[in-house]
Amino acid sequence: MTATHATAHSEDTESKAGPAEVVAPRRSWLHSRKLRTTGFHLTASLLSALWLLPIVLVLITSTRTFDDIAAHGVGSWPHSFTFDSFRQAWVDGGQQRALINSMLVTIPTVALSLGLASMAAFALSRYDMPFRRVLLLLMLGGNLLPPQILLIPVSKLSEVLGIYDQLYALIGVQVGFGVGFYVFVLHGFMRSIPGEIQQAAVIDGAGPWQIYWRIILPLARPALAALTALSFTWIFNDLLWAITVLRTDTQMPITASLIGLQGQYVSMWNVIAAGSVIAAAPTVAVFLRFQRHFVAGLNLGAVK
According to CB under 8 A, which residues from 174 to 203 bind another protein?
175-177, 179-180, 183-184, 187-188, 195-196, 198-199
Cβ neighbours for 12, distance < 8 A, ≥ 6 positions apart: none
Enter the DSSP assignment of 263.
Answer: H
**Minimum CB distance to another protein, residue 67 (Å):** 14
Residue placing its CB nearer to another protein in the complex, 84 or 157 = 157
Residue placing its CB nearer to another protein in the complex, 251 or 276 = 276
Alpha-carbon distance of 122 to 126, in angstroms, equals 6
Binders of another protein in range 70-99 (CB under 8 A): 73-76
Nearest to 235 by CA among 99, 102, 95: 102
Among 17, 22, 35, 52, interactor with another protein by CB under 8 A? 52
Q: How many CB atoms lie within 10 A of CB 184?
A: 23
Enter the DSSP assignment of 88.
Answer: I
Amino acid at the residue 237: N
Integer CA distances (angstroms), 222 to 68, 69, 268, 286, 287, in order: 49, 47, 44, 16, 16
Among 54, 160, 204, 218, interactor with another protein by CB under 8 A? 54
Q: Which stretch binds another protein (CB under 8 A): 23-31, 78-86, 206-214, 217-225?
A: 206-214
Q: Does 259 bind another protein (CB under 8 A)?
A: yes
**Minimum CB distance to another protein, residue 26 (Å):** 18
**Minimum CB distance to another protein, residue 68 (Å):** 12
The site map against another protein for 121-150 (x = CB under 8 A) is: -xxx-xxxxx--x-xxxxxxxxxxxxxxxx
Binders of another protein in range 12-41 (CB under 8 A): 12, 37, 40-41
Amino acid at the residue 159: E
Amino acid at the residue 185: V
